[in-house]
Amino acid sequence: MKGYDVCLTRMGVNRGTRASLNLEMALLITLMILTCVIGLSFIGAGVANQYASATGKLDVAGAVSGPSAGSSTDNGDGSFGIGWTGGTPDFTIKRGALPDLSDAVVIGSTPSNSYTVLPGDLQPGDNYIGIIDGEGRRLPQPIHIGIDPVDNTAVYTEVSVLPTTPDGVDPWYATPPFITLIPHPAANTDTYYAWDDDAFALYEFLPLSPPSDGIHILSYYSVSRADPSNREATGTVVFALDTGMTTP
């Protein structure tokens, strides 16, 4: 500023005018400094937001975010896949029967934003899964998984045959009969069958028939999916087939 004032003096600018020009120059310099400071602040915010996009650990304000947006998927084998967004590893997984998780116990941990809850970690009825990240932040709302109570009704298999009586000389069938296996209760029950000395196979609810002419033994049983100990004793039915026989 001193050099600038000397230049004005040499140019013949009077003192009052020089004072006014010096003030304007000072204001201009101050404005330039403020502009630089604000620009650097925006650059810093941009770097923080780029880090947030790359890691998922920071929100747009640059603050660390906890786990959120929890969801679950039934895997069809009694287990459930759960997932969430945000948070800092490692994650602790808790399971409770109450929505506030006051009765929750730890069932596992994971470094990723997903976890498989095994059937042994779940109880019949309501299950609430809580997520706690490495910084102690909790999932705002626990993930709910409902499990139907186990049906302890003894399972059994009904055998339906068409025609209901042999169409040849009793006990022979002249045409292959259609055999249907009907499990009870139908829900959550699997049925298995085998012809003669073959290995048991899962029954797919399609009609069966003896594999060839002759006398054949059909073995079968049903079992509860929820409780494998709920299994009926193996039953058998004998079929005699002679497709060359003349029907009465």
Note the pLDDT tens digit of each residue in 88-130: 999 999 999 999 999 999 999 999 999 999 988 998 899 999 9
Per-residue pLDDT at 49? 40
Per-residue pLDDT at 41? 52
Sequence ranges of the domains in the chain: 2-55, 68-147, 156-241
Per-residue pLDDT at 8? 44
Per-residue pLDDT at 25? 62
The region of weakest confidence among 58-72, 88-102, 154-168, 177-191 is: 58-72
Q: Which residue, chain included where needed, has tokens 């299994």?
A: 231
Per-residue pLDDT at 147? 87
Q: Are 247 and 167 in contact (CB under 8 A)?
A: yes
Whether 4 has a pLDDT exceeding 50, the answer reads no
Per-residue pLDDT at 5? 52
The average pLDDT across 188-207 equals: 96
Note the pLDDT tens digit of each residue in 9-60: 555 545 555 455 555 666 666 667 666 555 545 444 443 344 333 333 333 3
> Hey, how many other C-beta atoms are within 10 angstroms of the C-beta on 82?
20
Per-residue pLDDT at 17? 56
CATH dotted code for 156-241: 2.60.40
> Hey, how many other C-beta atoms are within 10 angstroms of the C-beta on 219?
16
Per-residue pLDDT at 153? 85
Per-residue pLDDT at 200? 98
Per-residue pLDDT at 186? 87
Greater pLDDT, 232 or 15: 232
Percent of the chain with pLDDT over 70: 72
CATH topology of domain 68-147: Immunoglobulin-like (2.60.40)
End-to-end CA distance of the chain: 127
Same topology, domains 68-147 and 156-241? Answer is yes
Per-residue pLDDT at 68? 87
The number of angstroms, rounded, from the C-alpha of 118 to the middle of its chain's C-alpha atoms is 11
Per-residue pLDDT at 69? 84
Environment class of 83 (CB within 10 Å of its CB; exposed 0-12, middle 13-18, buried 19+): middle
Q: Which residues contact 206 (CB under 8 A, 6 or more apart)?
A: none
Per-residue pLDDT at 62? 36
